[in-house]
Amino acid sequence: ESRDSGNYRFIYGFLNAELWSDIPAEHYFEREYPIAIKYAREHNVAFIASIGYKPDELRLLGPKCEKAGVDAIEFSTHYIGQDYRPVIEAAKALRESVNIPIFAKLSPFTPNIPELIRELEKVGVDGIVATNTIGPALHIDVETGKPVVGGPNGHGWLSGPALKPLAIAIVAEIAKNTRLPIIGVGGISRGVDVIEYFMVGASAVQVCTAALVEGPVVYTRLVKEVEDWLKKHGYDSILDIRGYALKYLKPEPLRTYALPPIVDIKKCIGCGLCEQVCNYDAVHVVEENGARKAVVNIENCYGCGLCTSICPTRAIHFPE
């Protein structure tokens, strides 16, 4: 899903139907993995395979991944029911089949996370990945009346920025209930997204949708943005902020207050989106020296943050 606004396009999420592949598994083991593993070794990074979904499939694919030389295996079940036993059975099947580390990838609506995590620890899972894409989701082509993707019942699975708040909440809950490493996944497109995942307990992150939109250069950009943020805030390592936010996550509600946003004139392009969405008549675009710029009326501002969310250039933002 996306929305056009002038020269800017906002990507809210992608739908995928990845329950099958046109490419046989052997192609990956014989061609793709050797190339990728060689590259990973040359650059001193781990290569983690991702497989699924059922116990018999994991018993078949797991040993082949290990034989190919991968460093670890992430397994997904795409399970969304109310009984988490299928996840445990999948974990047992893979754990009994390989000796390398295995990571359980959970779905957004996984039930009873604390209990599930304890069971996964008993099985011998080495880490948790959270979260998988969200679904089932449905998108209809209104010109034909047919579903856009080809999953059962036209269903697909949603990834991208829309998933991030759900994933952040789940990573935080997992972090409160285990000392296993957590890989955060879902909606990462900026360096501050990475920071947010680490603050709720992640030890690493995965990025896919943003890479599909922007290409491989997204990883270089994200690393630089993270490094710049850490330097600006006086941290030597990203590990210094891991779990930082957990102490503020209390069961009782917390009254919060927002300061009026400020506008970075150098970034503002005068598109008028902030003025368009403001319900409090607090933001207006005015002509200054021949250029259109946004101005905030502090008296009217409620601090809702909608303008900061919609700004395509991040020109309007809350003060730190």
> Domains of the chain, with CATH numbers?
2-248 (3.20.20.70), 262-317 (3.30.70.20)
Please confirm, yes or no, whether 268 is among the known catalytic residues.
Answer: no
- pLDDT, residue 80, reads 65
- In degrees rounded to 5, what are phi and psi of residue 142? -70, -15
Q: Chain-wide mean pLDDT for the chain? A: 91
Q: In this structure, are residues 125 and 100 in contact, taking their beta carbons and an 8 Å threshold?
A: no
Q: Given a cut of 80, is residue 78 above it in pLDDT?
A: no
Q: In this structure, are residues 156 and 16 in contact, taking their beta carbons and an 8 Å threshold?
A: yes
Block residue for tokens 């919060």: 256
What pLDDT digit, counting tens, does each position of 213-240 carry? 899 999 999 999 999 999 999 999 999 9
Q: In this structure, are residues 130 and 185 in contact, taking their beta carbons and an 8 Å threshold?
A: yes
Helix axis angle, 191-199 to 164-175, nearest 10°: 30
Q: Given a cut of 60, is residue 244 above it in pLDDT?
A: yes
Model confidence band, residue 136 (pLDDT cutoffs 50, 70, 90): confident
- In degrees rounded to 5, what are phi and psi of residue 182? -120, 135
Q: What angle do CA 216, 221, 224 make, to 5 degrees?
A: 140
Q: What is the pTM of this model?
A: 0.86
- In degrees rounded to 5, what are phi and psi of residue 282? -105, -15
- pLDDT, residue 128, reads 98
Model confidence band, residue 257 (pLDDT cutoffs 50, 70, 90): confident
> Would you give the distance in Å from CA 81 to the centre of its chain?
22
CA distances (Å), 17 to each of 50, 78, 104, 156, 183, in order?
16, 11, 20, 5, 22
Residue 270 neighbours by CB under 8 Å, 6+ apart? 285, 291, 292, 293, 294
Catalytic residue among 65, 268, 271, 311: 65
Q: Report which residue type is found at 317.
A: H
Share of the chain above pLDDT 90, in %: 74
